[in-house]
Copies of this chain bind each other. A is one copy, B any other.
């Protein structure tokens, strides 16, 4: 019972530096999420003293991360409080390689996309090629950013399973990538820190920070696109990652005895039962944008399509029920064509959910559609890139846009 240190608490003692870092991080995170906040609000939200907030904001301003402006609030008694906002010249790059295109965006510290390029490719790019494309796009975008812009880093959202620690894409079936060190490659090329994660997990993060799950502490999200069904989970305010970073692959959970297999070869999973291709087929389409598919679903009346839609709604409902039972979240967020399914017959979906969910967990459950659409992945990827800065505002490096 003695001897070996059994726990892995890893230097979690708190000293003065941690204290300051924690508070700086807290203030910057609040501004990051809320955009503009009065200093007096910061004191009441954090519980810190007026003078402490003054000091913290001054330090953040000195580092060029926030800007103090004249009071904007009107109506209250007493001296008007100064407004604090995130600096507009701090950005992160978001990278999203997909089967038919690679997209790049520049996102500001308050979550606004200020620039965006979509670079179509004929075939699915090799990892090395995708990294080169991304680097070129970033390089050219970097030149066009306003002088004085500073870059926090790069976040990549990949449709596949990602080892978050080292930025290696373990398996991305739609890109045909296996054990691809995309993060290190792109970091090498750009000279910027690169973080990589699963696209659906990042979209979830974006919905939590700016979208329909804003501020929620317990969220399950399902995200469907041409690349199957992805998922993301927020537990107590933080993304669920699991021991090696693969947690949240909600599309691949088996919910039925069906022998239909998904893109990873598992039978009876949510992804095997709720398939974009099956919808396209019944609508006699070879390909369609998300908007076109949405239109077809919402206007479906023929028996064939309706039957397929209903069967997918039923499977989706069961999946949601399982997740709600396991996680007891405040809400479930649906994106991509899943929100079309929801809107087609929300009563049916909610009914299936109710029948598949443990009563207690169902009581306060909300099912919603995502707010951010295709922005979610990019904003989420930028979130990932901003994380270092938000975690340690005093020490995280910033890079010049043009040198």
Binding site for B on A (CB under 8 A): 1-2, 5-9, 11-16, 19, 22-23, 26, 30, 33-38, 41, 44-48, 52, 72-73, 83, 161, 170-171, 214-215, 217-218, 233, 235-236, 238, 240-250, 252-258, 264, 266, 318, 321-323, 325-330, 355-356, 358-361, 363-364
How far, in angstroms, from A329 to B241 measured CA to CA in the complex? 9
Best-surrounded residue of A35, A170, A243 (most CB of chain B within 10 A):
A243
How far, in angstroms, from A170 to B358 measured CA to CA in the complex? 12
A6-B214, A242-B327, A254-B322 given. 17 additional CB < 8 A pairs?
A: A1-B35, A2-B37, A6-B33, A7-B30, A11-B46, A14-B14, A14-B22, A218-B242, A240-B327, A242-B328, A242-B361, A243-B329, A243-B364, A249-B358, A249-B361, A255-B322, A266-B355
Q: Sorted from nearest, which 4 A-B pairs have the closest CB atoms?
A: A242-B328, A11-B47, A13-B46, A13-B48
Among the listed B9, B256, B359, which residue makes an inter-chain contact with A171, where contact means beta carbons less than 8 Å apart? B359
Which DSSP category, helix, strand, loop or mixed, fits chain A's interface? Answer: loop
* Complex contacts, A246 vs chain B, CB 8 Å: 328, 358, 360-361
Cβ–Cβ contact B266 & A328, under 8 A: no
Cβ–Cβ contact B254 & A327, under 8 A: no
If the complex has contacts A2-B72, A12-B26, are A325 and B249 also in contact, measured as CB distance less than 8 A?
yes
Cβ–Cβ contact A12 & B47, under 8 A: yes
* Complex contacts, A323 vs chain B, CB 8 Å: 326
Smallest Cβ distance from A387 to chain B, in angstroms?
16
Cβ–Cβ contact B326 & A247, under 8 A: yes
